[in-house]
Amino acid sequence: MAKTRAEKDKRYEEKHKEERKAKCMAWGTSVPREKAEQINDFLKRYGFTKVQLIEEGYKALIEQAAEHNTDLAKIMDGYDDFFSGELEKFEKEKLNK
């Protein structure tokens, strides 16, 4: 007996659930409808994706954070003139936050 498309899709999704979870992350978050519609209109008008929005927003926030954190700014700018322990110290501080 032939299975329906929905049954095949469900079986595939169940089989590959862990693989998908390891590869990608979905954030269960909400944005007020009016703001979400504005964002969607903007993305559609200029041909951007939501992933591009997140990636570019993340880059902008990193740059903004670097303005207040000189260690982060050094790393972003590719300075190699800081002491060997500074990068390790920064990474440990980042993990502890």
Output the tens digit of pLDDT for each of the chain's 97 residues.
568 988 888 888 888 888 888 888 888 889 999 999 999 999 999 999 999 999 999 889 888 887 777 777 766 666 655 555 666 777 777 777 6
Distance in angstroms (rounded) separating the CA atoms of residues 3 and 12: 12
pLDDT, position 39: 96
Write out the two tokens for 3.
């299975």
- Residue 6 has φ and ψ, to the nearest 5°, of -60, -40
pLDDT, position 34: 96
pLDDT, position 61: 87
pLDDT, position 67: 78
Domain ranges of the chain: 27-96
